[in-house]
Amino acid sequence: QVRLVQSGGEVRKVGASVKVSCKASGYTFGHYGITWVRQAPGQGLLWLGWISGHDGHTIYAPWVQDRVTVTTDTSTTTVYMELRSLRSDDTAVYFCARDLMTGSSPFIDHWGQGTLVTVSS
Amino acid sequence: QSALTQPPSVSGAPGQRVTISCTGSSTSIGAGYDVHWYQQIPGAAPRLLIHNNDNRPSGVPDRFSGSRSGTSASLAITGLQADDEADYYCQSYDSSLGGFYVFGTGTKVVVL
């Protein structure tokens, strides 16, 4: 079965960086993309970025594109999301998710368990 | 800066039918982009409920149904059950936002 297992919670200071991993298994890695979504406490879902499992092509949300980098290690089918210059409002649960597009817009069919990133001053 | 607007909450008694609206614009739903729906129990990851406007993945009860018309979409839940109490999010694409995904603001379903 499809599994996305994320790394554990992290605590960082304002201005620092964090790197969250997402180990994918149970499917052909190169046939799907991985997207990253975050959820601040009590808030809704917010998309950060996407990477192709096929060729590593990335697309980032404009509001965070200068601070985020998503990479992939196809040998271990692991995807990484690094967020730099952390601010207190980056405190959130970060989800990796497998996505696909069978129509005119992509959607997520499997989610990781989430990783809480806490940014303190 | 969500481009899809949902009501903050809807409520219904067990067995009733509730609907959740998702309002976009001419650059998102109105442009013909497919709408998808997710259910999120507090403390858990979201779960895909409806994809491509009106398609249910295997395992999702047929009490859940989706539709799209014009610049809006809707999720209907019939035969409301206690474990339907959760947050629900719509999601699509908006060509004006320069990104890949746009989520709705989220709706809390309360079972009375």
Does the structure show a pLDDT above 80 at B97? no
Does the structure show a pLDDT above 90 at B31? yes
Q: Give dist(CA B32, CA A20) in Å, integer.
A: 34
Write the single-letter amino acid at B10: V
* pLDDT at residue B80, rounded to an integer: 98
In the predicted model, what is the mean pLDDT of residues B79-83? Answer: 97
* pLDDT at residue B1, rounded to an integer: 52
Q: What is the DSSP string of B12-29?
A: E-TT--EEEEEE--TTTG
* pLDDT at residue A4, rounded to an integer: 98
Write the single-letter amino acid at B43: G
Q: What is the DSSP string of A7-58?
A: PPPEEEETT--EEEEEEEESS-GGGSEEEEEEE-TT--EEEEEEEETTT--E
Contact between A70 and A56 (Cβ < 8 Å): no
CA distance B93 to chain A (A): 6
Closest CA to B47 of B70, B64, B32, B30: B64
**Chain A residues touching residue B1 (CB < 8 angstroms):** 63
Residues contacting residue A75 through CB under 8 Å, at least 6 positions apart = none
Write the single-letter amino acid at B67: S
**Chain A residues touching residue B89 (CB < 8 angstroms):** 44-45
What pLDDT tens digit does each residue of chain A (121 aa) get?
Answer: 999 999 999 999 999 999 999 999 999 999 999 999 999 999 999 999 999 999 999 999 999 999 999 999 999 999 999 999 999 999 999 999 999 989 899 999 999 999 999 999 8
Q: Give dist(CA A112, CA A30) in Å, integer.
A: 18
Residues contacting residue A113 through CB under 8 Å, at least 6 positions apart = A4, A5, A6, B45
A45–B36 C-beta distance less than 8 A: no
In the predicted model, what is the mean pLDDT of residues B17-33? Answer: 95
* pLDDT at residue B100, rounded to an integer: 80
Q: Give dist(CA A84, CA A118) in Å, integer.
A: 13
Q: For the segment A33-67, what is each residue's pLDDT rounded down to a tens digit?
A: 999 999 999 999 999 999 999 999 999 999 999 99
Does the structure show a pLDDT above 90 at B70? yes
Q: Give dist(CA A50, CA A62) in Å, integer.
A: 12
- Displacement of CA A56 from its chain's centroid (Å): 14
Write the single-letter amino acid at B35: V
Write the single-letter amino acid at A44: G
Does the structure show a pLDDT above 80 at B3? no
Strand B107-111 versus strand B9-12 pairing type:
parallel
Interface contacts A/B by beta carbons within 8 Å = 77
What is the rounded average pLDDT for all residues in chain B?
A: 95
In the predicted model, what is the mean pLDDT of residues B47-65? Answer: 97
* pLDDT at residue B96, rounded to an integer: 84
Q: What share of residues in chain B are helix, strand, coil (percent, to 5)?
A: 5, 45, 50
Query: Of B32, B48, B103, which is closest to A47 when you measure between CB atoms?
Result: B103
Mutate which of B101, B102, B107 to disrupt the A interface (most A C-beta within 10 Å)? Answer: B101
